């Protein structure tokens, strides 16, 4: 009987593996390795795999990294994952982020962290006002912390909601609604259990009690497939992910949850908006809450639990936040009101700031930066960030429909090396950005006591300055890539009319984004590549990228916590942040859903058989 049970478990594992790739009998190699001997294949690294039909290998590698307890081996595996990611050319890093903003000289106490969050609850105003006026961005896509995936949305979240942990002015994680936690020793299967103690007397903004049960509900909701959170995968290290999450409110002040392996960055997760609580009755009071899970907080007055509550919302114009008297640390919130200007027009925003109508702005027109630096304007701030500004190709774009996976990769790599990153840093960024030669940013911790990429040259995938240092050689290399992909060139060195490349670049509004696109447009034209630039408003931009309705698009990723897994797991097939559409062959989601159901059915059969064995043993 034990042998029978073992066989059933093997079946479960086999069925799960079938979910990882396309059907139809297509054979794949056992490990990431480029064995293509075509002209295009010979130009690619050994790490290359088909980013559509073979991407299950990447998915599996990320899953293995999540449970790896040997930290040195884990670092090696993360480098392997970045090797795979960079080998196909869909992700084209431009520079490593820093952050700029302007702040009136009478404002003090606002602080930000490496991940782009800005905290306003400690602000003081020397002009005797109790109202802070801010521009972060245009109309937010989501205010529901489980559904937000933008930096401006995260800034709003950390000022209207509160989690178990938060960040202090020094950028360190500290308890917020929690008093602390304990972690069990690993069980035989490697799993660990966290027990978090909550502060007593916590309240929602409507005055009702906030307890550990609210976290249980909120985390299970955020992880559930039905919710469709872009960040749902952040719960993938939990036992029972996604729809049977091992999180339990033991009592009103004790939350218990189990992970499949130890997690060194758990405090960072507990401080991340997706892990913030939402009130169940408020969420489910919305008529269409099951089909529109974020609908409950699309108007002013929604229930929250942070330093401020949203009391006014004139869509696409302004929002008003007021101090929340039921916030557990309300006595130390120094601002009575925040008025948010909703706009993405950085010229209009800058004019409003100069007119004295706004106290803090989170963007500056590109053509104003030079003057601000030269005049040493003390209101112009430059702070560190941990992230990468990059360009993304849609792996499923019609551009590649007649190309082999290797040929498509060569096309994208040609684009990559043609870009004058130094010009983008110097003329668009202008504030000391470093040209990027890899996706993982400079300075990110490696989870093993070191730095994943300590210098510009370390772990580089190309020379970020090659087009400047060796223009002719770089253009010749790009031409070689394109010729290997089947493109022909005329005597003038440009693409022939027989094999043109015409692409559309998708970006949101913003002078910096457009200026960077224009530089790339000129760079690509060196080989006769024709690129048009399409500007769309912010929320449309987010949806178009997410749904894969683009050829090539501007992207940027600020880390959510200081570990490379955060930069790598977002590109798993089912991730809501997988804008490149990796692994998404036609019908991939249907196959995954059917296989998940099969795994659940088989697992249930194993459990039933186990119970039968136990009953038989007792009877014997």
pLDDT at 16: 41
Percentage of residues in the chain having pLDDT higher than 90: 88
pLDDT band at 35 (very low <50, low <70, confident <90, very high): confident
pLDDT at 34: 78
As a whole number of angstroms, the distance between CA 617 and CA 620 comes to 5
pLDDT at 11: 36
Mean pLDDT for the stretch of residues 485-494: 97
Query: H/E element holding 591?
Result: helix 588-619
CA-wise closest residue to 134 among 352, 323, 330: 352
Instruction: Pick the range with the lowest mean pLDDT from 151-155, 206-210, 588-592.
Output: 588-592
As a whole number of angstroms, the distance between CA 480 and CA 43 comes to 9
Instruction: Pick the range with the lowest mean pLDDT from 4-8, 80-84, 272-276, 394-398.
Output: 4-8
**CATH H-level superfamily of 105-344:** Periplasmic binding protein-like II (3.40.190.10)
**Where is pLDDT greater, at 20 or 205?**
205
> Cβ distance 501 to 529 under 8 Å?
yes
In 331-440, the DSSP E strands lie at: 337-341, 360-361, 380-393, 434-435
Answer yes or no: is pLDDT of 245 > 60: yes
pLDDT band at 615 (very low <50, low <70, confident <90, very high): low
As a whole number of angstroms, the distance between CA 119 and CA 307 comes to 10
pLDDT at 30: 36
pLDDT at 542: 94
pLDDT band at 155 (very low <50, low <70, confident <90, very high): very high
Q: Which CATH architecture has domain 30-96+383-584?
A: Roll (3.10)
Query: How many angstroms separate the first and last alpha carbons of the chain?
Result: 14
Report the length, in residues, of the chain. Answer: 620
pLDDT at 161: 98
pLDDT at 18: 38
pLDDT band at 82 (very low <50, low <70, confident <90, very high): very high
The three-class DSSP label of residue 586 is: coil
pLDDT band at 283 (very low <50, low <70, confident <90, very high): very high
Mean pLDDT for the stretch of residues 224-233: 96
The three-class DSSP label of residue 259 is: strand
pLDDT at 383: 96
Average pLDDT, the chain: 92
pLDDT at 612: 53
Mean pLDDT for the stretch of residues 458-472: 96
Answer yes or no: is pLDDT of 21 > 50: no
* DSSP designation for 262: -
pLDDT at 196: 98
pLDDT at 269: 98
Task: Give residue 58's Cα distance to chain centre.
Answer: 17
pLDDT band at 306 (very low <50, low <70, confident <90, very high): very high
């Amino acid at each position: 009987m034990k042998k029978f049970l073992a066989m059933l478990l093997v079946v479960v594992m086999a069925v799960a593996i079938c979910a990882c790739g396309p059907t139809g009998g297509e054979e794949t190699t056992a490990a990431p390795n480029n064995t293509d001997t075509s002209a295009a294949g010979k130009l690619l690294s050994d790490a290359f795999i088909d980013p559509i039909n073979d991407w299950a290998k990447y998915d599996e590698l990320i899953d293995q990294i999540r449970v790896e307890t040997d930290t040195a081996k884990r670092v090696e595996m993360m480098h392997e994952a970045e090797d795979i990611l960079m080998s196909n050319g869909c992700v084209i890093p431009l520079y490593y982020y820093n952050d700029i903003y302007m702040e009136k000289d009478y404002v003090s106490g606002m602080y930000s962290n490496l991940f782009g969050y800005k905290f306003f609850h400690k602000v003081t105003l020397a002009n005797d006002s109790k109202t802070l006026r801010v521009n972060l961005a245009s109309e937010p896509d989501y205010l529901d912390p489980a559904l937000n995936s933008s930096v401006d949305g995260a800034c709003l979240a950390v000022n209207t909601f509160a989690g178990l942990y938060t960040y202090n002015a020094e950028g360190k994680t500290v308890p917020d609604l929690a008093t602390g936690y304990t972690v069990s020793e690993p069980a035989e299967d490697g799993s660990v259990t966290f027990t978090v103690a909550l502060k007593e007397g916590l309240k929602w903004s409507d005055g009702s009690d906030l307890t550990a049960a609210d976290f249980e509900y909120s985390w299970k909701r955020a992880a559930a497939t039905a919710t469709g959170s872009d960040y749902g995968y952040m719960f993938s290290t939990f036992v029972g992910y996604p729809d049977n999450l091992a999180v339990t409110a033991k009592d009103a002040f004790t939350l218990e949850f189990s992970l499949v392996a130890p997690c060194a960055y758990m405090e960072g997760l507990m401080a991340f908006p997706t892990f913030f609580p939402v009130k169940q009755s408020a969420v489910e009071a919305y008529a269409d809450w099951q089909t529109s899970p974020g609908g409950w907080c699309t108007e002013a007055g929604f229930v929250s639990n942070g330093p401020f509550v949203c009391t006014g919302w004139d869509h696409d114009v302004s929002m008003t936040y007021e101090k929340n008297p039921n916030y557990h640390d309300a006595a130390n919130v120094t601002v009575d009101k925040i008025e948010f200007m909703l706009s993405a027009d950085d010229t209009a925003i800058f004019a409003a700031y100069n007119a004295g109508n706004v106290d803090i702005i989170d963007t500056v027109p590109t053509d104003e930066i030079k003057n601000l630096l030269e005049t040493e304007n003390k209101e112009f701030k430059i702070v560190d960030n941990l992230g990468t500004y990059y360009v993304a190709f849609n792996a499923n774009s019609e551009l590649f429909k007649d190309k082999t996976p290797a040929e498509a990769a060569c096309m994208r790599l040609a684009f990559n090396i043609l870009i004058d990153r130094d010009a983008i840093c110097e003329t668009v960024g202008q504030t000391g950005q470093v040209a990027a030669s890899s996706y993982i940013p400079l300075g990110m911790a490696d989870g093993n006591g070191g730095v994943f990429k300590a210098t510009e040259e370390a772990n580089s995938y190309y020379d970020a300055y090659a087009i400047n240092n060796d223009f002719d050689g770089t253009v010749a290399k790009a031409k070689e890539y394109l010729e290997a992909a089947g493109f022909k060139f005329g005597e003038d060195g440009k693409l022939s009319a027989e094999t043109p490349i015409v692409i559309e670049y998708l970006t949101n509004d913003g002078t910096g984004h457009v200026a960077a696109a224009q530089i790339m447009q000129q760079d690509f034209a060196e080989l006769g590549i024709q690129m048009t630039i399409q500007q769309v408003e912010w929320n449309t931009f987010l949806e178009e990228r997410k749904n894969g309705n683009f050829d090539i698009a501007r992207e940027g990723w600020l880390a959510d916590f200081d570990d490379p897994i955060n930069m790598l797991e977002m590109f798993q097939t089912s991730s809501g942040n997988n804008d490149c559409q990796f692994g998404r062959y036609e019908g991939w989601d249907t196959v995954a859903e059917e296989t998940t159901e099969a795994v659940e059915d088989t697992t249930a059969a194993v459990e039933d058989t186990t119970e039968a064995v136990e009953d038989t043993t007792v009877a014997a």
